[in-house]
Amino acid sequence: MIRTAIVQFDVRRGDVAWNVETVKRRIAAVAEHGTQLVVLPEMWSTGFANKRLKELSKTTPGILEDLSSVAKKLRLTIIGSMPEKVRGRVYNTAYVVDRDGSVAGTYRKVHLFSLTGEHRHFKAGRKAVISKTSLGRIGLMICYDLRFPELCRSLALDGARMVVVMAQWPAERVAHWDILLKARAVENQLFVFGANRCGSDPDVAYAGHSRIISPYGEVMARAGKQSATISATIDLRALQQTRKHIPCLKERVPEAYG
């Protein structure tokens, strides 16, 4: 059994100090209840302050050190995405900080959302990533990635037992968010964590609606539109039970799919 939580909050664009202090306070609160996994939204430390990304990305190594200390002290795993600067280019990168304080995995967002011009500010990642953590194998996805079932399927086939989706998903397309999270969980028969931000920037309102979803499509915990922390205790044995009952992954016929 794993006690899990999602921290949903209104990320302040460019206000790193406020975002970091908010997250640290919220993590400390859930740790009092024995939480073992905490998931944060996409770009939680900086927001999409696109004109300042190269400058703000310099804060990420120090924040990672802070998170490592928090994770080690509280004995929990923390996952969320932040800007990563590499050779003058910036990636939207998910970091997995395990309960011993080590960085157990990183994933650079593969699918950049052209509608809002992400491709003009970020460099795209090139590969799917599963992080091998103290809690098991966790697949990583970021926002727009959710619309590409091939990515989540590749994580499932490579042994992911949980998939974390970090997002800043807009309110105007919240119906898609709710549907796609359930679809990815049901079709791949694994646990899905959808960690979205809430609130608004000057140009967009965000959906909230963070979710923890079982391999059978049950919504185990849900948030509304406001700042919230949601939690659920998951049992990884549910994967085997679901896959035994409906063995669709085992009964795939890849040669028929073209």
Please state, as a whole number, how many other Cβ atoms lie within 10 Å of the Cβ of residue 111: 18
The single-letter code of the amino acid at 240 is Q
pLDDT tens digits, 39-84: 999 999 999 999 999 999 999 999 999 999 999 999 999 999 999 9
Domain that holds residue 89: 2-256
Catalytic residue numbers read: 42, 109, 143
Per-position DSSP letters for 203-253, written without gaps between them? TEEB----EEE-TTS-EEEE--SS-EEEEEEE-THHHHHHHHHS-TTTT--
Residue 180, domain CATH: 3.60.110.10
pLDDT at 117: 83
Q: Reduced to 3 states, what is the DSSP secondary structure of residue 14?
A: coil
Backbone Cα Rg of the chain: 17
Summarize the chain as % helix, strand, coil (round to 5): 35, 30, 35
Using CA atoms, how far apart are residues 89 and 96, in angstroms rounded to an integer? 21
How many domains is the chain partitioned into structurally?
A: 1
How much is the pTM? 0.96
Is the CB of residue 206 less than 8 Å from the CB of residue 223? no
Q: Which two tokens stand for residue 95?
A: 């970091």
Is the CB of residue 230 less than 8 Å from the CB of residue 221? yes
Ranges of residues in the chain with a pLDDT under 70 are none
pLDDT at 60: 98
Q: Give the burial class of 114: count Cβ atoms within 10 A of its Cβ; 0-12 exposed, 13-18 middle, 19 or more buried.
A: exposed
